[in-house]
A and B are shown apart, each in its own frame.
Chain A
Amino acid sequence: MFKLGKIINRITVIMSLISYGGVLAIMVLNVADVLLLKTLSRPITGAYEITEVLLLCTVMASFAYAQSKKAHINVTLFIKHFPRIIKFMAYGLMGLLSTLTAVAVGYAAILQALSAISRGAQTNVLMIPLYPFYYIEALTMFVFALILLYDTVIAFAAIGSRKCEKIVISTWTG
């Protein structure tokens, strides 16, 4: 079980690199664009749309990473006062719903990628095909779902295991 956690850790390193790199790339691209605009009146062609696809990859990859750091927001204000079994059952169940939601978004992104291929959808100026970015969206959502699933299993395990209980409670606020 915890071995799976280690594998997941490794995947989130990749996700963190995509998000770190993405936001730095957005910064560098836009700084370069503004410098060229102000000095030579020559903005970078297509900077706008490169920024948009970079932002898509960055944001999508960040979800999984933020989940591994427990940075997403859960209101635990009420459930922390529930009796043990109900508390972790409810939390696990919510984790399961979260997982399914992330899977649904990933599935929708695959459909969107296929549709983008058949329509030949591309960006406006540089004519970059759009479908790879939907595949990236799908992939990152599935990784997000995987981490959510892992956290869900820990939540259910917390009903019987003190060790898991500690892990879950340590991420709770409110």
Chain B
Amino acid sequence: TDTTDPARQQDAGTYEFSLSLHDPLTSNNGRFLQAWADEINAKTNGEVIITLYPSGALATAADVGEMVETGGVDIGWLFTSYYKGQFPLTDVTNIPMAGFGDAEITTQALWDLYEKYPQVRAEWEKYKLLYLYGNPGMLFASNVAPIDSPDDLKGLVIRTPAGPITDYVTQLGASPVVMAPPDLYETLQKNNINSYIFEPAGITNFKLQEVTKFMTDMPMYNGAFGLVMNWDKWNSLPAEYQKVFEETTQRAGSLKAARDFNEAVEAAKKTIAAAGCEIVTVSDENKAKFEKAAEKIIAAWPATVKVEGLDAKEFLDDAMAIIQKHSK
């Protein structure tokens, strides 16, 4: 039978869980999580049934964390950028031009940091952490002119996700505007913003290629995603099923998610180019300029992080060393 149909799963199964995500089922992340839910179902002989609630039908992107904590949702797909102040260390990947690279490198770094630092684990202790992975990198997109050097940002009204990137673009002379992704299409169409920062799979998910002229093929920083589960629900599972969950997720599973994300970006770039949007490349010389401009933001980062018993500067240096190791 087709296990993607929630209603068909109703009669069988001893353990039924809801999984909330804010992306649509047709997005790369939606498909990945559905495949995982199917895998769990198969490996537990149909005993564990996970029903996906996509497009934020059960909990919005900013609400899902606490809904998992209180049990309103059993499993939630959580994007840390919606939780300002709650994942300061995990969000180290949000520092612009720090070299986190693609999704796979970011994911390796996230797990190294998660395993090494109890303070990073503490950020996730309210839930059972299943997946933890990065996205393949956020890019500039513009409707004014190609962005291929820091000077091109002057005077732009740009939609940015929250975090250090906001300070970065402000420093380069742009005016940041924060808004939710579903509002982007109309706002771009009406020319109320003339540029934005997003990752390519997100651009195609929200159809933004239809209203975008230029996209700069230079990842600036990476967002972090967690798939988290309510503790009571986790503890309700027998050990053998917990083992199935752990074997399919954790570091190995997260790396699989990261590779899947990387591939989705390659496909997305083709879609974006096919829609008539120009893909702009940045010369090494100009990339160095972008990096130079970010030095101040990177240096300022440790002061913005206040975590007890941790030297944020040392943590940042260590994170940079970890990226270096995985980038080779």
Contacts and interface: CB of A to CB of B under 8 A. Distances in A.
B159 to A, nearest CB: 10
A17 interface: no
A44 to B, nearest CB: 9
B176 interface: yes
A121 B85 CA distance: 6
A43 B177 CA distance: 8
B155 interface: yes
Contact of A119 (B86, B175, B177): B86
Say what secondary structure dominates the interface of chain A. Answer: loop
Interface in B83-98: 83-86
Contacts of A43: 157, 175, 177
Contacts of B66: 112, 115
Given A41-B155, A41-B157, A115-B66, A120 B178 contact: no
Interface residues of A, number: 18
Contacts of B288: none
B324 interface: no
A41 B195 CA distance: 13
Nearest to B66: A115
B179 interface: yes
Given A49-B178, A125-B162, A125-B176, A120 B157 contact: no
Interface string A102-137: 000000000010010001111111010000000000
Contacts of B178: 46, 48-49, 124-125
Contacts of B177: 43, 48
A42 B193 CA distance: 11
Interface string B145-179: 00000000001010000110010000000011111
A86 interface: no
Given A43-B177, A48-B178, A122 B84 contact: yes
A123 B166 CA distance: 13
B242 interface: no
B84 A123 contact: yes
A45 interface: yes
Given A49-B178, A125-B166, A37 B84 contact: no
Say what secondary structure dominates the interface of chain B. Answer: loop
Contact of B85 (A42, A46, A48, A119): A119
A45 B158 CA distance: 12
A1 to B, nearest CB: 39
B86 A124 contact: no
Contacts of A41: 155, 157, 175
Interface string B121-165: 000000000000000000000000000000000010100001100
Given A41-B157, A115-B66, A121 B175 contact: no
Contact of B192 (A37, A115, A120, A121): A37
A119 B62 CA distance: 13
A121 B157 contact: no
Interface in A26-52: 37, 41-43, 45-46, 48-49
Nearest to A111: B70
B157 A127 contact: no
A49 B85 CA distance: 15
A37 B157 contact: yes
Contacts of B192: 37
Interface in A42-65: 42-43, 45-46, 48-49
A49 B160 CA distance: 13
B176 A120 contact: no
Nearest to B123: A119
Nearest to B83: A121
Contacts of A45: 175-176
A140 B317 CA distance: 47
24 contacts: A37-B157, A37-B192, A41-B155, A41-B175, A43-B157, A43-B177, A45-B175, A45-B176, A46-B178, A48-B179, A49-B178, A119-B83, A119-B85, A119-B86, A120-B86, A121-B83, A121-B84, A122-B84, A124-B162, A125-B162, A125-B166, A125-B176, A127-B84, A127-B85
Given A112-B66, A115-B66, 13 more contacts: A41-B157, A41-B175, A119-B86, A120-B86, A121-B84, A121-B86, A122-B84, A123-B84, A124-B84, A124-B162, A125-B162, A127-B84, A127-B85
Interface of A: 37, 41-43, 45-46, 48-49, 112, 115, 119-125, 127
